[in-house]
Amino acid sequence: MRLYLIRHAQSENNARWVRTRAPGGYVPDPLLTELGHKQAKTLAKFLKPNSRGGLGQKKDPFDRYGFHITHLYCSLMQRAIQTGAYISQALGLPLNGREDIHERGGLTGEDDKGGEPVGLPGPGRAFFTSHYPDLVLPDTVNDAGWWNRPYETREQANRRAGQLLDNLTTHHNNLDDRVAMVTHGGFINTLLKELLGATKPDYDSGDLTGFWFGAGNASITKIEFESDLVLLVYHNRTDFMATKLIT
C-alpha cells in the first residue's frame, strides 16, 4: 500500500491563528478560507495530471510518473470534506467519509466556565446529504450527530491511530493500492508517532521534549507499506504550490 496523508487546506481557524497567535474563539467545525479553496484547487490540479501514465515505473518515490490514487478518504470535519471534494472531482474518485480520521480531540467547543473542551454532537446524515451530496457516508452516521461524545484524550487518539493503521494494512494489503486520506495536522502527527513508536506519555506531554512533525495546509506525506518495511518517503510536501499559497 502507498498511503498519502493530505492535510486539509487552510481553515477559518488556521487563518485566525495566523492573525492573532491567541488561543480561544475558534469555530468548532470551520470551513475553508478563500486562500484555502485556492490551495485545495492547486492540490487537486497537481494530482490530476499525474494520474495518467507511467504506472509500470518500478522506482518513482516522488511520483514523477503519477500518483495513481485508487482510494480517497476524508474525515467528517468540513474543512477536510471541502478539500477532498476538489480532489474527488479532479480524479474522478468517490470521496469516502471516515469517522476515524478526525482531528485529535474530536469535534469540540469550550464550556462556559473554565474554557475546558467539551464534545459536541456535530452534523448528522441529513446535513451531510444536503450540503455534501457526493460524499459517501459510513452507515454508522445518523441524525444524532457523527461525533456526539466527550472530548478525546491523547491516549484515546493514540489508540485510534493504531487501530486505523491495522485497519488500513488489513484492507489495503495490495501493493497496488494507493490510498489518499484527507485528514488533520494533529492526527498526522499522531499517526507518524504511532508508526515510530513515539506515543509514550512523555512524548505527548506537550512540552519542549516532545516531537512535532510540521504539516502545512494541503501538504502531502507519503508512506509505503511493504511486506517487511514501512518507509516514510517524504513529509510535508508543498513544492507544487506558489510561495504565496503556502501556510
135-148 confidence digits (pLDDT tens)? 999 999 999 999 99
Angle subtended at Cα 167 by Cα 164 and Cα 173, rounded to the nearest 5 degrees:
130
Instruction: Match 444536503 to its residue by C-alpha cell.
Output: 130
**What pLDDT, on the 0 to 100 scale, is given for residue 208?**
40
37-73 confidence digits (pLDDT tens)? 999 999 999 998 654 555 656 678 899 888 999 999 9
The CATH number of residue 162's host domain is 3.40.50.1240
Separation of alpha carbons 12 and 19, rounded Å: 11
Separation of alpha carbons 157 and 187, rounded Å: 8
**What pLDDT, on the 0 to 100 scale, is given for residue 49?**
65
Q: 215-241 burial, b if ≥16 CB within 10 A, otherwise e?
A: bbbbbbbbbebeeeeeeeeebbbbeeb
Task: Say how many domains are in the chain.
Answer: 1
Q: How many CB atoms lie within 10 A of CB 60?
A: 14
Residues contacting 27, CB < 8 A, separation 6+: 12, 13
- Mean pLDDT value across residues 6-32: 91
Provide the domain limits for residue 161: 2-245
180-202 confidence digits (pLDDT tens)? 999 999 999 999 999 988 765 55
Cell of 68: 495513481
* Nearest residue to 220 (alpha-carbon basis) of 1, 33, 2, 53: 2
pTM of the model: 0.93
Hey, which residues does 223 pair with through a beta bridge?
A: 3, 232
Within the chain, residue ranges assigned H as helices are: 12-20, 34-47, 78-91, 125-131, 154-171, 185-196
**What pLDDT, on the 0 to 100 scale, is given for residue 209?**
45
